Amino acid sequence: MPEAAAARNEAREALRKLALVEQLAGVGHWRFDFVTRKATWSPQMFHIHGAAPGDFDPSDPSVLDALEATDRARLLALVARAEATGEGYAARLRLNRLSDGAQRIVVVRAEVERDESGAPSAIFGVFQDVTDQERAVRDAEAAVRAKLNFLANISHELRTPLTSILGFSRLLEQAADLPADAHRCAARIVGAGETLLAIVNDLLDLAAMDAASLRLRTEQVRVRDLVQSTLDLVEADAVAKNLLLACRIAPDVPEHVMGDGGRLRQVLLNLVANAVKFTESGAVRVHVEAAGRALRFSVIDTGPGIAEDRQSRIFARFTQADPDVAARYGGAGLGLAICKRLVTLMGGAIGVQSAPGEGASFWFIVPLAPAAAQTESEPKPPRALDILLIEDHAAIQDVVRAVLAPLGCRIEVAADGAAAVRIAAKRGFDVIIADANIPMIKGPDAVRAIRSAGANRRTPVIAMSAHSDPGFEIAFRRAGADAYLAKPIVVRDLLAAIASVTTPHGANESNESEWGLARA
């Protein structure tokens, strides 16, 4: 009959298409009848086993010998449970192909068929070879790890000389007996070094976020101090361009919130620094508003503005809105991409409203829970201290001496871990400053040995490292370090760390001073 012939042709065509789809997807289907104990396979099931249809009977129990022993036992238990309870299953199995013994990784998913009475009658499932997909994932993860390790090593090689460059140039910049030209040269060296450091940090942040290894801190953040310290960093550039730099914090903004203060400052500073860089005249304003249990930060400038069709691109890495503007002002095109990733990590959102000739308003919203105020003290320059410096780079030794010796501190240097342990065993110190990557005995191990016995069992330890890997800080903390500094060492951070480990809690308390919210 014509209708029957047409139906058969349609069925054959459907089976042909199904076989093609299974072949392209690497998926086969199978069915096992609980009554007849017979199994049927699609052609792709044979292909996954490295065989052709008809090479063997899929109902033969020996077919299951292709599975690893533990996986075979697990699959038989799943089938038995499915027959008894009617529950389907999914499993990842290791398969040794029947044709050549090559090991493949397969994923099986199965559902139970029921007869008219509702009892389980058969099980139908799909088999997918995921070996290549899993290998691709492993290769991609290995590539990310290799990139992160490479960048971490490069960062160490860059941060160590940057400690010397920035340390000495900052000391020169602050020297009172230098002519004005020398001060300007020192300031330019500082600016160039900080620009290079910012690029290194941006690349490391991106790599860490790609590897999902960047971790956020939870700490108390004073909102006013967060904004003030950010504006302080760009004030000189704003004054040089005669820009008004102003801030408005809404009355309902909590004084203190819980969040990652460093990352919040990083995002806000990037937006404010961009606004100052691209604005030739007028003002840059920072607004902070409460939005439920979140804070909304807005950075509003009177710069050239950004066309709507270019706004979506500026948050992509290595991308800038306007090539002509990029050529004029420079930049690696990383900052806003990092801001977006950081804000997303913090559970927030970031965006921009702008039009050519009308300036720009960059904003970000981050959930930040209010926190109870805690009394904080400003770090004071350290008193005359006896300090053991464990550092193998002579230039960094000189920087630390140049910073601390004028304050009356006595510095004894150990250029390797073994020497540090020997020196510390002979006498006590007020503070120990230890680098991570030193010869003989690495920094954390040297600290652990010094802490284990002798006169320095309770001596405060400040650890430092040019490595970006958070594992170094963790290792130092476990060894007993009290504070941790990332190179290049900033003078104010070093002094603050020394003050924090030598000043008892609650000392040097002072009343807060008012902050002028507008400056020109």
DSSP string, 427-490: S--SEEEEESS-SSS-HHHHHHHHHHSSTTTT--EEEEES---HHHHHHHHHHT-SEEEESSPP
The residue that leads in pLDDT, 132 or 213, is: 132
Alpha-carbon gap, residue 326 to 308, rounded angstroms: 17
**Are 23-134 and 143-211 in the same CATH fold?**
no
Pick the CATH number of 23-134 from 1.10.1760.20, 3.40.50.10330, 3.30.450.20, 2.30.30.90: 3.30.450.20
State the pLDDT at residue 510: 31
State the pLDDT at residue 494: 86
State the pLDDT at residue 321: 46
β-strand pairing of 386-390 with 360-367: unpaired
Which two structure tokens, joined as six digits, stand for 254? 């909590």
Q: How many CB atoms lie within 10 A of CB 502?
A: 18
Query: Mean of the pLDDT values across residues 113-139?
Result: 89
Alpha-carbon gap, residue 391 to 393, rounded angstroms: 6
CB-based burial, 417-447: b 16+ in 10 Å, e otherwise = bebbbebbeeeebbbbbbbbebeebbbbebb
State the pLDDT at residue 74: 93
The residue that leads in pLDDT, 371 or 108, is: 108
- Summarize pLDDT for 396-410 with one digit per residue, the tens: 888 888 888 888 899
**Cα pseudo-dihedral 390, 394, 398, 400, rounded to 10:** -30
State the pLDDT at residue 406: 87
Alpha-carbon gap, residue 260 to 346, rounded angstroms: 9
State the pLDDT at residue 378: 47
Burial class (CB in 10 A: 0-12, 13-18, 19+), 385: middle
Give the mean pLDDT of the chain.
80
Please give the DSSP secondary-structure letter assigned to residue 377: B
- Summarize pLDDT for 99-120 with one digit per residue, the tens: 788 889 999 999 999 988 889 9
Q: Give SS3 for 412.
A: strand
The residue that leads in pLDDT, 334 or 420, is: 420
Decide: 433 and 420 in contact? Cβ < 8 Å: no
State the pLDDT at residue 515: 34
Query: Mean of the pLDDT values across residues 42-58?
Result: 85
- Summarize pLDDT for 52-102 with one digit per residue, the tens: 888 888 888 888 888 899 999 999 999 999 999 999 999 999 988 877 888
State the pLDDT at residue 413: 93
Q: Give SS3 for 405.
A: helix
Please give the DSSP secondary-structure letter assigned to residue 249: E
Where are any strands of DSSP class E within 339-454?
Answer: 349-354, 360-367, 369-370, 386-390, 410-414, 431-435
Alpha-carbon gap, residue 406 to 352, rounded angstroms: 48
State the pLDDT at residue 316: 72
Locus of tokens 């919203």: 365
DSSP string, 164-204: HHHHHHHHHHH-TTS-HHHHHHHHHHHHHHHHHHHHHHHHH
Alpha-carbon gap, residue 407 to 434, rounded angstroms: 20
Which two structure tokens, joined as six digits, stand for 468? 């970006």
Decide: 335 and 270 in contact? Cβ < 8 Å: yes
β-strand pairing of 518-519 with 120-129: unpaired
| 9 — pLDDT class (breaks 50, 70, 90) | low
State the pLDDT at residue 120: 92
Nearest Cα to Cα of residue 76 among 131, 84, 51:
84
Decide: 110 and 91 in contact? Cβ < 8 Å: no
Q: Give SS3 for 383.
A: coil
State the pLDDT at residue 12: 61
| 162 — pLDDT class (breaks 50, 70, 90) | confident
Decide: 462 and 435 in contact? Cβ < 8 Å: no
Which two structure tokens, joined as six digits, stand for 203? 């690349």
State the pLDDT at residue 21: 52
Q: How far is the first Cα of the chain from the last one, in angstroms, to the nearest whole number?
A: 94
* pLDDT of 511 strictly over 50: no
Which two structure tokens, joined as six digits, stand for 56? 């063997």
Q: Which amino acid belongs to residue 186? A: A
State the pLDDT at residue 454: 80
Class of 219-370 in CATH? alpha beta
| 486 — pLDDT class (breaks 50, 70, 90) | confident
State the pLDDT at residue 172: 81
| 520 — pLDDT class (breaks 50, 70, 90) | very low
| 487 — pLDDT class (breaks 50, 70, 90) | confident
| 512 — pLDDT class (breaks 50, 70, 90) | very low
DSSP string, 292-320: TTEEEEEEEE-S----HHHHTTTTSTT--
pTM: 0.51
Decide: 113 and 32 in contact? Cβ < 8 Å: no
Alpha-carbon gap, residue 62 to 53, rounded angstroms: 16
- Summarize pLDDT for 278-334 with one digit per residue, the tens: 899 899 999 999 988 899 999 999 988 888 877 777 877 545 545 554 444 444 446
Q: Give SS3 for 50.
A: coil
Determine the distance from the C-alpha atom of residue 224 to the mean position of all C-alpha atoms in its chain, rounded to a whole number.
26
Which two structure tokens, joined as six digits, stand for 370? 């209010």
State the pLDDT at residue 196: 77
Least confident of 124-133, 206-215, 230-239: 206-215
CATH domain 143-211 topology: Helix Hairpins (1.10.287)
Decide: 112 and 82 in contact? Cβ < 8 Å: yes
Determine the distance from the C-alpha atom of residue 128 to the mean position of all C-alpha atoms in its chain, rounded to a whole number.
34
Per-domain residue ranges of the chain: 23-134, 143-211, 219-370, 386-501
Alpha-carbon gap, residue 302 to 321, rounded angstroms: 17
* pLDDT of 369 strictly over 60: yes
Please give the DSSP secondary-structure letter assigned to residue 504: P
State the pLDDT at residue 14: 54
Architecture of domain 386-501: 3-Layer(aba) Sandwich (3.40)
Percent of the chain with pLDDT over 70: 82
Q: Which ranges in 127-282 belong to alpha helices (H)?
A: 131-174, 180-210, 223-240, 261-278
Alpha-carbon gap, residue 270 to 265, rounded angstroms: 8
Which two structure tokens, joined as six digits, stand for 385? 């201290």
Percent of the chain with pLDDT over 90: 22
| 29 — pLDDT class (breaks 50, 70, 90) | confident
- Edge-to-edge, what's the strand order for the sheet holding 518-519? 349-354, 360-367, 294-301, 283-291, 244-249, 518-519
